[in-house]
Structure 1
C-alpha cells in the first residue's frame, strides 16, 4: 500500500484489514524503515527470525494504515501506550481514529474506527484433544462457559473453545485491560455457529449494554472476533485485504 493513500471512515463503519505475513516479506526492508527507534529496538530483541519479521511487518503495516487514515507520514506517527500496554495514536495526530491489531501464526488483523473503541483478536487453531481443551477451559474460562463447552459433543469442543477465547480476548482488548482482568471474571457465548453475545460482566454490569461482539471471517484454521464499545447504532464492518495494496472498495 502506498503511504500517500488517503482513506476515510464513514460514520458507522469499522474497517478490518487482513494481512498474510508471506505477502509482506518482499516489503520487509521498506516496512522496517517506517518503525520508530523504540520499535526497531524491540524488533532486535526477538531471538526468532520469524517473530522478528512478523513484529516488523505488523508494526510497519500498522503505520502505513494509520498514515492513510490520519494523513501523517508513517514514520512520524507517534504511539502512546495505556496502563496495560494498549497502543494508541497521540491525540494531536489521531483525528478521532481508534485502532487495534492482532496477529497469530501467518495472519494479522487491523481494526480501525472513527467512533467508540475497538478490540480485535485472531488465533491460530492448533489441534489438540477435546480433553486438553476442556482442561484449559476449566482453568481459564468462567464456570458458565466451561459448562457450556463441556456439554458439547467432542467434535465441537475445539471450535467452541476458540470461539470463546477470541471473543473474550476481543472484549479485554476493547477496554485495554490486558491481564488485569482474568478471563474467568466475565462470560461470553461459546457456540461457534451462533452470533456471539456478552452474557455476564460482574466487574462492570453496565457494560452489557455498551459492548458488543462479532465473529469475523478468516482463513481455515483460524478464529477471530471483534468487540466494539460505545458505538452508536449498528456498525458496518468492512473487510479489506492489505495484499491488494489499494482496495477497490476505497
Structure 2
C-alpha cells in the first residue's frame, strides 16, 4: 500500500467476513476476556485486520508490529511515522491511516435511544441540544463527530462539553487543541450507520481516500 504525505486512507471492513487470526499474546488475553463469542470473534477480526493492514504500509511482518498506548488507551505504532485510528460498531469497522498527523475516527450504528433527551442534556451543549434532542439520527452524527475529534487529540469524554459542533463543523474546541488546525468530516457509509473522521490539518491540502475490504481483498471505493 502506497500512502502519500498528504493522504488519509479510510478503510471500511465487515468484521464478520474477516478470516484472519494475527494476535499478540496480550491481544489474545484481551480476546479471551469477552463473554460472548460474537464479540470475541469481532475483536479478533478487528485487531487481526489492523495488523494485516498496517503491515502493508510498513512493509513488515504483521506479527512484528509493536503498539503503545496513551493514558486514554489510544493505540500507536512504535518507531513509525504512520498514525492510525480505528472504531467499530456491530459488524462494521473503520480504520484511518496517515503520516505524521493526529487522526481520529468513529462509527456508530443508528438505533433507537429511549433515553435520547437525557443523553443529549448530559453530554451536549445547550446550542447542540436544541438541534438534536428529538432527532435520533442527528444525535449519532453529532456523537461520531465529537468522538472522532476527541480520539484524534487522545482524550476522553470528559472533554465532550468543551467541544461544540455545528452542522458537522468544529465551532469550539478544547484549549489544548487550539494550536493546531483541524479537518472534521462526516463519512458516507451504510445508511444505518453514522461515521466521522477528524484529522490534523498540517499541510495545505489533505486528500481523503476511501477503501473497503471484502473477504480479505482490498479495493478503493469510487
TM-score normalised according to structure 2 size: 0.92
Identify, as 1 or 2, the structure richer in helix: 1
Q: 1:201 maps to what in 2?
A: 173
3-state DSSP of counterpart to 2:171: strand
Q: Is the 8 A contact 1:13 1:235 kept in 2?
A: yes
Cα gap change, 1:200 to 1:134, in 2 (>3 Å) = same
Structure 1 residue runs of 4 or more that deviate by more than 4 Å after TM superposition: none
Deviation at 1:9, TM superposition (A): 0.6
Q: Is the 8 A contact 1:137 1:146 kept in 2?
A: yes
What's the Cα RMSD here?
Answer: 1.8
Cα gap change, 1:248 to 1:186, in 2 (>3 Å) = closer
Deviation at 1:234, TM superposition (A): 2.6
Larger radius of gyration, structure 1 or 2? Answer: 1
- Counterpart of 2:97 (choices 109, 112, 117) is 112
Q: 1:173 maps to what in 2?
A: 151
Paired residue total: 220
Q: 1:215 maps to what in 2?
A: 186
Q: Is the 8 A contact 1:98 1:115 kept in 2?
A: yes
Q: 2:140 maps to what in 1?
A: 162
Identify, as 1 or 2, the structure richer in strand: 2
> Following the alignment from structure 2 to structure 1, what is the Cα–Cα distance between the partners of residues 104 and 187?
12
Counterparts of residues 97-176 of structure 1 (less than 5 Å): 97-128=82-113, 132-150=115-133, 154=134, 157-176=135-154
Q: 2:69 maps to what in 1?
A: 81
Q: Is the 8 A contact 2:96 2:105 kept in 1?
A: yes
